[in-house]
Amino acid sequence: MIDAELASQVVRLALDRGASDAECTLSEGEEFSAGVRMRSLETLKDAGSRGAGLRILLGQHVGSSYTSDLSSEGIRKLVDSAIEIAAISTEDPYAGLPDPSELGFLPGDLELYSDDVSRIDTSQRIDHALQAEDAALSADPRITNSEGASFDAYSGERVFANSRGFLGTYRVSSCSLSTTPVAREGESMERDYWYSNARSYAKLESPAAIGRKAAQRALRRLGSRKVPTQKVPVVFDQLTARSLISNIFEAIDGDSVYRKASFLAEKLGERVASENVTIIDDSTIPGLFGTSPFDDEGVPTRRTVVIDRGVLTSYLLNTYTARKLGLRTTGNAARGLTGNASVGHGNLFLEKGDRSPEEIIRAIGKGLYVTELIGSGVNTVTGDYSRGAAGQWIENGEFAYPVSEITIASTLQQMLMDFAAIGSDLEFRGSVASPTVMIGEMTVSGQ
Amino acid sequence: MALSDSFFGQKFGITEHDLQSYIDQALSAGGDYADLYFEYLATSSLSIDESIVKSAVQGVSLGVGVRVIAGERTGYAYSDDLSPERIRRAARVAACIAKGPAKVDKTGFEEANKRDLYPILQAPNETSLTERVDLVKRADRAARAYDSRIFQVQASYGDSLRHVLVANSDGVLSFDRQPMARLNVGVLARDGNGSPQRGYAGGGGRVALDFFQNDKSPEAYAQEAARQAIVQLDAVPAPAGEMTVVLGPGWPGILLHEAVGHGLEADFNRKKVSAFSDRIGQQVASPLCTVIDDGTIRNRRGSLNVDDEGSPTQKNVLIEKGVLRGYLFDKLSSRLLRSGVTGNGRRESYQHIPMPRMTNTFMLAGDSDPADIVRSTPRGLYCANFGGGQVDITSGNFVFSASESYLIEDGRITRPVRGATLIGNGPEALKYVSMVGNDLKLDEGVGICGKEGQSVPVGVGIPTIKVDRMTVGGTSG
């Protein structure tokens, strides 16, 4: 474990050297990874590292530095380096630490750390990966190959201190198990994956279930074809719907909002989505990946309703972006080891609706069910949306055949106003979550 | 250069005896091969936003990665502390991958042959901070001066100097000093109450600070970013469906990176999970296409004197006149496939296991006049600039996102269209290349490639080409 007191020492040292304010982050982590392929162990990785970051203010000038050397000489250079580089920055009237009254952390156990993650032994970890891959390989004779399976574990600690008296620390752990089988039939070769991840080993799904689901996902893509270009309803499965919520995050991120680099800038209080759309950011739910007791500026995290029944009610903000917009921080500061904080989300999710995914699909005469999106064709400044897609073609309420090498396009503005159905199947597999979503109409481009 | 004169010898007192003892430890459980990758990385970055230099960061990281290969297996561990006890502990952890008696390997090291592709005496991060901050200030002024409709400018400058030492159980020792610098400008333009539009430009490479002059000056990048944003103000919705696509020279070479490059990385082909597996000698592109990956171009962002496994980089022909010729190898793939290395073993840092990666990937020039290529196209899309791309190497489907493109109508470039994704299938897409221009251009030097969570700098390049059939993902029928 790191000595949390070191962070306070760094802050004091910076003040002694003339800084008017300082914030220090320390981080330490141990990573483990076991990779298997075709029923044999392929890679083992086991290591740890530490780092320190410092951000200082000299009046309204800001400078930041980082180091992997936590010796006293390393720390001295860290401080010198931040002071030196602050000299070239320009005075920024909005720069500064949070007001002391805003600092603090959530009480109680947020279930972010479980020692079972580091307790299980290497052979058991390898065994889990072998079982997951085996379940995929054994699922069907058309699963002929595999990119393997891996078991990954991480445990670490984060410490944050600032010159306004904040000192906080928390530990996190996580583990994940995933496998990527390859299915083949004739000339068609397709891969897909499935995974489970959790902050506690006890909460991982079974290797057999992960392997079987990965196999089904690869198999259902075999023999995929292109469809003619047309406008149809598009259903996003849980995984791809999640990416829509991530796109919306970029548009409500205070950084893009104050620069007016977002299609949702200057829209607070306006209707921006269909009435069934409620999007919430909540960093306080125990055990989830977007949970933390305080943000990366030492402000307690909270639950923020971003879109309430279609109306834009809040942006996500850190201290800086809040000051630029004349608002209060929402406890969403994020940063690595150092630098000015950016804005991050906690557990950001779309509230579930009341229809099962099956019901949603059954009601569609002709449409697309998307299971994979590739590429970066989303512009959150203009809202233009165009991405590569693969999935299943829907005819008369049923899956007719797999499709790929197509794109789907619209604008995020239109899509948000056209959430024709929202599923009841919300589950958290990461810090962004969404149930199945149906968009009333998008352009599918193919032949 | 002797080890004692090298960066790690001088600064950390590392000796050949130390290296040998770590390798012995790494092979103590009988691995076939072991290597050590020492890395010292110093970075700095600056950015201007709203005409204020809001962010300035500098820092250092240091560490060593130890790898042991036993058959198809790899054991890996690292330490951010270069004390002998910590390195030996990492070596013992990596050694666990093998199960057998200790391997006695040759003693002594010889230095690998090495190029000098970036003979820079003064790396950018050894230049004064004032000179570097001046670059972003000039970019900010130039972008704002370009047009009154430009209302936001962000410019960022980043550089790094990486010292590496690679020692392996074959007795090969490599040193390298790898500078890098990059300047980016992003702007937003708005016309009245219309939607803002983005423009983006930048450049860099393994260069000294004096690289940023003339057509690579902060002003030149700023004007280019501003030009793109202003053009987009008049953009109409992009078309949807299959059509002829003409790619302009330079950055559109990302097509090659996605459509063929990743699919030719030897790890995927060793595992036979790539759409290009077992296709050496087959026609995978039109006979007009010759595609090269070349890590030896002076001062380029994707170039390296030695790759991150200590192997010298080289010029590798991937596709020759449409026929698939070769894959990109790292040490593990070359051992298992009994092929030579190609200098493509790369990693993000000492914390990462090397794997086959591209360097600078481009298509050789053909003999068509670029103007004729456009003139010969009755209707289609002309793509001048792209954002990112992605590929599913198993199905071969790839995308890349056009950020500046225009309709071609009656053989003329006409209206700008809004951003759209283009999609194709790797082994098929290049078969539809019907014209290749005589204007090969490499990109400006800002590319980053991600694979399995590791990012490395790369370059791309292409002449103007005409692809007779490709799916364009717009919204307009």
Q: What is the pLDDT of residues B311-337, one digit of tens each?
A: 999 999 999 999 999 999 999 999 999
A88·B242 Cβ contact <8 A:
no
How far apart are alpha carbons A424 and A242 in whole angstroms?
A: 14
Average pLDDT over residues A148-175: 97
B197 touches chain A (CB under 8 A): yes
How far apart are alpha carbons A219 and A142 in whole angstroms?
A: 8
Which residues lie below 8 Å from residue B64, measured CB to CB, with a gap of 6+?
A: B36, B37, B38, B39, B78, B79, B82, B87, B90, B350
pLDDT tens sequence for chain B (477 residues) = 789 999 999 999 999 999 999 999 999 999 999 999 999 999 999 999 999 999 999 999 999 999 999 999 999 999 999 999 999 999 999 999 988 788 766 678 988 877 899 998 899 988 999 999 999 999 999 999 999 999 999 999 999 999 999 999 999 999 999 999 999 999 999 998 889 999 999 999 999 999 999 999 999 999 999 999 999 999 999 999 999 999 999 999 999 999 999 999 999 999 999 999 999 999 999 999 999 999 999 999 999 999 999 999 999 999 999 999 999 999 999 999 989 999 999 999 999 999 999 999 999 999 999 999 999 999 999 999 998 899 999 999 999 999 999 999 999 999 999 988 999 999 999 999 999 999 999 999 999 999 999 999 999 999 999 999 999 999 986
CB nearest A46 (choices: B51, B77, B399): B77
Q: Tens of pLDDT along B111-142?
A: 887 789 999 889 998 899 999 999 999 999 99
Which residues lie below 8 Å from residue B72, measured CB to CB, with a gap of 6+?
A: A40, A42, B332, B336
DSSP 8-state symbol, B11: H
CA angle B64, B70, B76 (to 5 degrees): 25
pLDDT confidence of residue A3: 86
How far apart are alpha carbons B176 and B120 in whole angstroms?
A: 12
User: What does the block give as tokens for B162?
Assistant: 């990486």
Q: Which of A382, A404, A381 minimizes the C-alpha distance to A393?
A: A404
A290 touches chain B (CB under 8 A): no
A144 touches chain B (CB under 8 A): no
Q: What is the model's pTM?
A: 0.95
Does the structure show a pLDDT above 90 at A96?
A: yes
Q: Judge contact between B318 and B293, C-beta under 8 A.
A: yes
How far apart are alpha carbons A29 and B423 in whole angstroms?
A: 39
**Distance (Å) from the C-alpha of residue B390 to the closest C-alpha of chain A?**
5
CB nearest A88 (choices: B50, B53, B77): B53
Domains and CATH numbers, chain A: 5-219 (3.30.2290.10), 230-243+352-445 (no CATH), 251-347 (no CATH)
Residue of A nearest to B394 (CA): A190
Give the type of residue at B160.
S
Residues of A in contact with B152 (CB under 8 A): 259-261
Domains and CATH numbers, chain B: 3-232 (3.30.2290.10), 240-473 (no CATH)
Q: Which residues numbered 172-191 in B keep a CB inside 8 Å of some CB on A?
A: 188, 190
Residues of B in contact with A47 (CB under 8 A): 76-79, 90, 93, 351
pLDDT confidence of residue B476: 87
How far apart are alpha carbons A192 and A173 in whole angstroms?
A: 26
Q: Tens of pLDDT along A47-62?
A: 999 999 999 999 999 9
Tell me whether 0.90 is exceeded by the ipTM: yes
Substitution target in B12, B36, B55, B137 with the highest count of A β-carbons within 10 Å is B55
Return the SS3 of B102: coil
Residue of B nearest to A61 (CA): B54
Q: Tens of pLDDT along A233-259?
A: 999 999 999 999 999 999 999 999 999
pLDDT confidence of residue B105: 63
pLDDT confidence of residue B436: 98
Residues of A in contact with B80 (CB under 8 A): 49-51, 68-69
CB nearest B394 (choices: A46, A189, A226): A189
User: What does the block give as tokens for A409?
Assistant: 């396009």
**Distance (Å) from the C-alpha of residue B367 to the closest C-alpha of chain A?**
31
Residues of A in contact with B75 (CB under 8 A): 43-45
Helix (H), strand (E) at residue B266: helix B266-270
How many Cα atoms sit within 13 Å of A63 on the Cβ side?
23
Number of helices (H), then strands (E), belonging to chain A: the values are: 10, 20
pLDDT confidence of residue B107: 72
B54 touches chain A (CB under 8 A): yes
A37 touches chain B (CB under 8 A): yes
CB nearest A89 (choices: B53, B90, B188): B53
Does the structure show a pLDDT above 80 at A64?
A: yes
Q: Which residues numbered 399-438 in A keep a CB inside 8 Å of some CB on B?
A: 404-411
CB atoms near residue B446 (< 10 Å): 20
pLDDT confidence of residue B102: 82
B475·A37 Cβ contact <8 A:
no
A376 touches chain B (CB under 8 A): yes
**Distance (Å) from the C-alpha of residue A232 to the closest C-alpha of chain B?**
12
Residues of A in contact with B51 (CB under 8 A): 90
Q: Tens of pLDDT along A182-236?
A: 999 999 999 999 999 999 999 999 999 999 999 999 999 999 999 999 999 999 9
User: What does the block give as tokens for A212?
Assistant: 């079987």
Q: How many inter-chain contacts (A to B, CB under 8 Å) are there?
A: 262
pLDDT confidence of residue B106: 66
Residues of B in contact with A409 (CB under 8 A): 238, 240, 420-421, 473-475
**A152 pLDDT band (50/70/90 cuts)?**
very high
B58·A81 Cβ contact <8 A:
yes
Q: Which of B283, B452, B302, B402 minimizes the C-alpha distance to B362?
A: B302
CB nearest A340 (choices: B44, B54, B238): B54
A66·B242 Cβ contact <8 A:
no
How far apart are alpha carbons B250 and B446 in whole angstroms?
A: 12
Substitution target in B335, B399, B418 with the highest count of A β-carbons within 10 Å is B399
Substitution target in B394, B428, B469 with the highest count of A β-carbons within 10 Å is B394
CB nearest B57 (choices: A64, A190, A375): A64
How far apart are alpha carbons B343 and B295 in whole angstroms?
A: 8
Q: Which residues numbered 401-430 in B keep a CB inside 8 Å of some CB on A?
A: 401, 418-421, 423-425
Q: Judge contact between A205 and A427, C-beta under 8 A.
A: no
Average pLDDT over residues A433-444: 98
